[in-house]
């Protein structure tokens, strides 16, 4: 489900959070699907359960997952994250585009790359 790269400078909980988020966004995890318990995922990845719990708390606060006491943790039926997450990503995109423009990359090249990315996302 998620892999940890110990050479990645990001904290492990961020890697877990981002990995699960990616699976949800790409449809690998579908709404209503149960995700592994904190203990199970911690055992699978051989990391501290508190690290997984931290990632799950963030995903829940972002609206990607929902915990049901006594039943488990599930992918949210509807992702309520849209406004805040979109705003944060648009901000990051703005910073990246500005840097690319300052480095001499043309608007056309940036647009072409966006279209390429979009085309790859649509394919199964």
Asked if 52 and 41 touch (Cβ cutoff 8 Å), the reply is yes
Asked if 35 and 29 touch (Cβ cutoff 8 Å), the reply is yes
CA gap 16, 115 in Å, rounded: 28
User: Which residues are paired to 65 by β-bridges?
Assistant: 75
Instruction: Tell which wins on pLDDT, 85 or 30.
Output: 30
> pLDDT value at position 81?
59
Judged against a pLDDT cut of 90, whether residue 41 lies above it is answered with: yes
Span 94-109, pLDDT tens digits = 999 999 999 999 999 9
């Amino acid at each position: 489900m998620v892999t940890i790269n110990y050479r990645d400078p990001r904290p492990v909980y961020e890697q877990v959070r981002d990995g699960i988020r990616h699976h949800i966004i790409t449809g690998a995890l579908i709404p209503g699907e149960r995700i592994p318990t904190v203990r199970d995922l911690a055992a699978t990845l051989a990391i501290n359960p508190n690290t997984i719990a931290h990632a799950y708390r963030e995903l829940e606060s972002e609206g990607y997952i929902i915990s049901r006491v006594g039943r488990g943790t599930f992918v949210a039926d509807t992702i309520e994250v849209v406004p805040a997450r979109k705003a944060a990503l648009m901000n990051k995109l703005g910073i990246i585009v500005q840097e690319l423009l300052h480095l001499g990359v043309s608007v056309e090249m940036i647009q072409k790359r966006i279209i390429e990315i979009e085309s790859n996302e649509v394919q199964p």
